[in-house]
Structure 1
């Protein structure tokens, strides 16, 4: 009887499982190279793998042009040798602006932390733009956020299931840490850093909607979500 009673209590005890906001029509990004479903937390959130669904659902951008994949990377020299068309023109028909880390733009001058060649990133960012990610949170709890970013020391935000959840404070402009350089000004957007920028609480496990709200002044490659160890 004790065993049956315990089983009954277990069945009646509510399990905290994440739930997507009602009516959300976006879907986890998927193509021939990405077939594993939602990005997983803990783990790395690739900024360019925002949801499918288009303007106003999966993202908001100030114009319809992808200024990297659909514009800049069609000009001579910007689709570097050895880089596939898939990388050069990733999601070129969507409004979110995307490019990739280039030898001649990102890796030929100092950075505090170098990203990998061909790492995709969000760029040409404007205040008020955002992207949605369906994420699969494997374990509820508190996580620190580590960002790979370029240029401005800035504060950007994450919301969780349409509720404010975290400030991500990008701590330093990497460009300013090399005062003796004489590169053209546009290169300030291609000096990179990887740094802890904040913490976020996931009260529940399961599929949830994570929204990144960004501002003018950065390129954003990825965010690592690392469990905070309780002391």
Structure 2
């Protein structure tokens, strides 16, 4: 389509004319990768999987109020909480780190109606507590303003996203779904990336929800004038 061609040309012009971002100089974390996920920094626009927070450990890549991964390192070890044939990769994903990670299961997430169904075996971060956080080195392909949407379960609370060490936006979960495993999808905020290249996102949690990912959808080259 002609519209798409013009849109892509405009994005290329913007990208070439703006400075490239610099990560905070004191940051020691590295983009997540392992034998299964080898891509490194997650691209924006696109989907940032929250379970793929940076490598670097407690106090660098994340902060959790206890050292136990209550999903991969605890719940998913119990026979009642997994099915035969589930890959060990999912059952024990990052099990030795403090961030609490699990994945969607037939008997917990798909045995009742959801407003929006998550993917089967979707990794998510749960057991959140106030003040916990995770870091993400992302690769911003196109600077500009982005709409953020997420899929989540339970509380209608707030999280916040910081960009390169500065608070950027509150993420407002608009609806209480009634349970951690009753999922819905919502637009939760907007963020402006002034520069392309590596950027550091920090997601600060408040207690009460399961969160799977953040989708970043480009909407405008300039920040909101509000």
TM, length-normalised to structure 2: 0.89
Structure-1 separation of matches of 2:189 and 2:68: 31
Native 8 Å contact 2:143 2:221 kept in 1: no
Q: 1:31 aligned to 29, 34, 54, which one?
A: 34
Does 1:110 pair with 2:101? no
Shift of 1:14: 8.2
The answer for the alignment partner of 2:219 in structure 1 is 228
The answer for the alignment partner of 1:216 in structure 2 is 207
Structure-2 separation of matches of 1:229 and 1:50: 27
Q: Deviations over 1:20-40 (max 9, x none)?
A: 001110000010111111000
5+ long unaligned stretches in structure 1 = 1-12, 176-187
The answer for the alignment partner of 1:67 in structure 2 is 70
Does 1:194 pair with 2:197? no
5+ long unaligned stretches in structure 2 = 1-15
Native 8 Å contact 2:138 2:198 kept in 1: yes
TM, length-normalised to structure 1: 0.87
Structure-2 separation of matches of 1:193 and 1:82: 27
The answer for the alignment partner of 2:55 in structure 1 is 52
The answer for the alignment partner of 2:163 in structure 1 is 160
Moved beyond 2 Å, runs of 4+:
none
Structure-2 separation of matches of 1:125 and 1:146: 19
Quick check: which has more Rg, 1 or 2?
A: 1
The answer for the alignment partner of 1:101 in structure 2 is 104
Matched length: 207
